[in-house]
């Protein structure tokens, strides 16, 4: 039974997250229905990560085990044909090596958060960026973000409904920079807590507008208390851009 490794992109707005849920639209449910329509097989796919409601992906990785030995390009094209008109696309398909697993073999998940920083609202990117009207100091945000790099207790930036066994995570990358009217934040780690990236982003934005200092941000992390977190950034600007193996 061949295992196919698929790279997926999707617009998260129409879905109640990636994970399949009875009676609710999900990315996983849509892909599994496409697999059934294409191959006649009912299966449960495995994914590198479960994005929340409204979160996008340009580099999500999933795997499916199919009984028939299809050419990878046939799997890609057939799934895309059955995913029309949903905002999901299979970018690439390949036969996975023995023992490879989309979730358990992953060593890194990488997210980018986009903030449109101008007075005028977005038109073309509405729903794909967080619109912040006040000027942001991206350099101050980047300096403050460096305290996040390393192994820490991220309770402050952990959603109250998070089901992870431990708040301890190792953040490998925390970077903030500007590209014209956009401020972008990049985070990379083996795994993240529920809404961790959005919590860190929203709190860093408080530094960007001058309401918090880098010292305030450091104190919030060290408080290990959800009440010390700043506002949580909306899902709109968040995108899973890649998974490393």
Give the separation between CA 5 and CA 96, rounded to whole angstroms.
6
C-alpha count within 13 angstroms, C-beta hemisphere, residue 83: 24
Give the separation between CA 215 and CA 236, rounded to whole angstroms.
28
Question: Taking every pair of C-alpha atoms in the chain, what is the biggest distance, in angstroms?
Answer: 58
- My answer on whether omega of the bond before 43 falls inside 30° of 0, hence cis, is no
Q: Please, are residues 221 and 152 in contact by the beta-carbon 8 Å criterion? A: yes
Residues involved in catalysis: 52
Beta bridge partners of 113: 185, 238
Q: Is 140 helix (H, G, I), strand (E, B) or coil?
A: helix
Sign of the Cα torsion 96, 102, 107, 109 reads positive
Q: How many CB atoms lie within 10 A of CB 24?
A: 12
Q: Locate the DSSP E strands across 36-135.
A: 46-47, 56-65, 88-95, 108-116, 130-131
């Amino acid at each position: 039974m061949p295992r196919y490794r698929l790279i997926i992109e999707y617009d998260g707005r129409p879905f109640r997250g990636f994970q399949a849920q009875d009676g609710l639209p999900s990315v996983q449910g849509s892909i599994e229905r496409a697999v059934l329509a294409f191959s006649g097989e009912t299966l449960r796919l495995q994914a590198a990560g479960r994005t929340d409601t409204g979160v996008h992906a340009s580099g999500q990785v999933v795997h499916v085990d199919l009984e028939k030995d299809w050419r990878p390009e046939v799997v890609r094209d057939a799934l895309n044909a059955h995913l029309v008109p949903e905002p999901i696309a299979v970018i690439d398909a390949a036969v996975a090596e023995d023992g490879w697993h989309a979730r358990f073999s992953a060593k890194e998940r990488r997210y980018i958060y986009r903030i449109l920083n101008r007075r005028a609202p977005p038109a073309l990117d509405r729903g794909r960026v967080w619109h912040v009207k006040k000027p942001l100091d991206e350099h101050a945000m980047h300096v403050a973000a460096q305290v996040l790099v390393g192994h820490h207790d991220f309770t402050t930036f952990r959603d109250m409904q998070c089901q992870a066994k431990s708040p301890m995570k190792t953040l490998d990358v925390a970077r903030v920079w500007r590209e014209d009217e956009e401020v972008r934040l990049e985070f990379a780690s083996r795994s993240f807590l529920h809404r961790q990236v959005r919590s860190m982003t929203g709190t860093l934005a408080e530094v960007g507008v001058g309401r918090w200092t880098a010292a305030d941000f450091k104190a919030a992390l060290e408080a290990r208390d959800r009440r010390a977190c700043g506002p949580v950034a909306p899902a709109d600007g968040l995108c899973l851009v890649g998974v490393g193996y």
